[in-house]
Amino acid sequence: MQALNQIAIIEDDADIRSLLELSLTTLGGYTITAYPLASTAIKCLANNTLPQMIVLDVMMPELSGPKFIPLLRALPHGPEVCIVMLT
């Protein structure tokens, strides 16, 4: 199992997104990619290497966290990504 170093944050609240990004990069040393919307994230993730973990907000405009999950799982290597739901 490879070490966790790449995390995506999908959170529509800018303050929460910034706090998570700051904490995970500064304190955790992780490489972070942050998205304000799940609909944007799924388009980007479909064309790039998937992160090892996603911190995913439950309630977002356009595409909720629970509706995002099957779209992620349908991507190659999508089932391997750990998801932490944030409410």
Tally of CB atoms within 10 A around 24: 18
Burial of 13 (0-12, 13-18, 19+ CB in 10 A): middle
Q: What confidence score (pLDDT) does residue 50 get?
A: 94
Burial of 12 (0-12, 13-18, 19+ CB in 10 A): middle
CA–CA separation, 42 and 7 (whole Å)? 14
- Number of helices (H), then strands (E), belonging to the chain: the values are 3, 4
- Tens of pLDDT, residues 63-82: 999 999 999 999 999 999 99
Tokens of 1: 């199992």
Residue 2 above 70 pLDDT?
no
pTM of the model: 0.93
Domains annotated for the chain, with CATH where assigned, are 6-86 (3.40.50.2300)
